[in-house]
Amino acid sequence: MAGPCLLLLMLITSFSPVSAEICSFWDSGCVDPLAQTAISFKLPPLFLEPINFYYAFDADARGKGQEPMIKASYWIGYEAYINNSVIDINRTSEIAVRVGNLTGTPSGENNGCDGVWGSECSKNFKDFFQKIIFDLITAGDSYNNPLGTVIESFLAHPPLISNCPPPLFDVQQFPSDQFAIENEDDKIAVIKKTGGSDKPWSTFFIDNMTAGDQAEQVAVAIISRTPSYGTEPPSKKEEIQIEFICARAPSPGSSTSDD
């Protein structure tokens, strides 16, 4: 019997060709990184090989109101196989990224997050997101992009997670993006095109933050893989896949300036 069919994602490097145009600080469609980092992580069972999370920022010492300002961006880079044998229902994969009010040194398990907030927080963090998304999906109401939906509700009422830093959701911006849509009938996954500094997936501005201060901040990426609306809902929260990544730019040990 033939093995599972593997679909190869087109190799698109994360390094953009040199452009004749300069990326303005105020242009949200690109970023000229003052600092950038890339974290390789695994996302089975859909992705059979590691993929990369990129986080970058630029700084303006005299931004809005002549106060320091940060322009932050993120994207994912792929060079991986998709295992379409695991596409048994329609699913959606999303990523949400928060930056601010969190410092530490990424290291250890859970893609560096254990070194930032400890293993107990990592466990509770995953349980929290599995439960809140499970409750949303099984409530019977229509929904779209469940991770983005619950994240949006946090901005008005930041929740507390046991053994986790209190300001975890107290941030100015918390953008999210859908990056994979699985189709049960065709056994394929439509994947968002690889990003780059010339085409980041999302860009947001942070007020009153210098480059030196931003370099101390930990960016947290939350990734979900959930049943799409109209699909048979999960029977338990553990069927909701949640992964997270902690990163700093530049990586600890390197430096940046306040220019």
pLDDT tens figures, 174-212 = 999 999 999 999 999 999 999 999 999 999 999 999 999
Q: Does a structural domain hold residue 184?
A: yes
Amino acid identity of residue 48, one-letter, is L
Structural domain count of the chain: 1
Q: Does a structural domain hold residue 15?
A: no
Q: Does a structural domain hold residue 253?
A: no
Q: Does a structural domain hold residue 228?
A: yes
Choose between 254 and 2: higher pLDDT. Answer: 254
Q: Is the pLDDT of residue 53 over 90?
A: yes
Q: Does a structural domain hold residue 45?
A: yes
C-alpha dist (Å) from residue 111 to 107, 131, 193: 7, 21, 23
Question: Which residues constitute the domain of residue 75?
Answer: 27-247
pTM reported for the whole predicted model: 0.88
**The Cα angle at residue 75 between residues 69 and 79, in degrees rounded to 5:** 155
Exposed / middle / buried, residue 124 (Cβ in 10 Å: 0-12, 13-18, 19+): middle
Q: Does a structural domain hold residue 100?
A: yes
Q: Is the pLDDT of residue 259 over 70?
A: no
Q: Does a structural domain hold residue 11?
A: no
Q: How far apart are CA 16 and CA 106, in angstroms?
A: 27
Amino acid identity of residue 111, one-letter, is N
Choose between 154 and 223: higher pLDDT. Answer: 223
Q: Which two tokens stand for residue 25?
A: 């600080």
pLDDT at residue 64, as a whole number: 81
List, in order, residues 6 or more apart from 167 with CB less than 8 Å away. Answer: 101, 102, 158
Q: Does a structural domain hold residue 17?
A: no
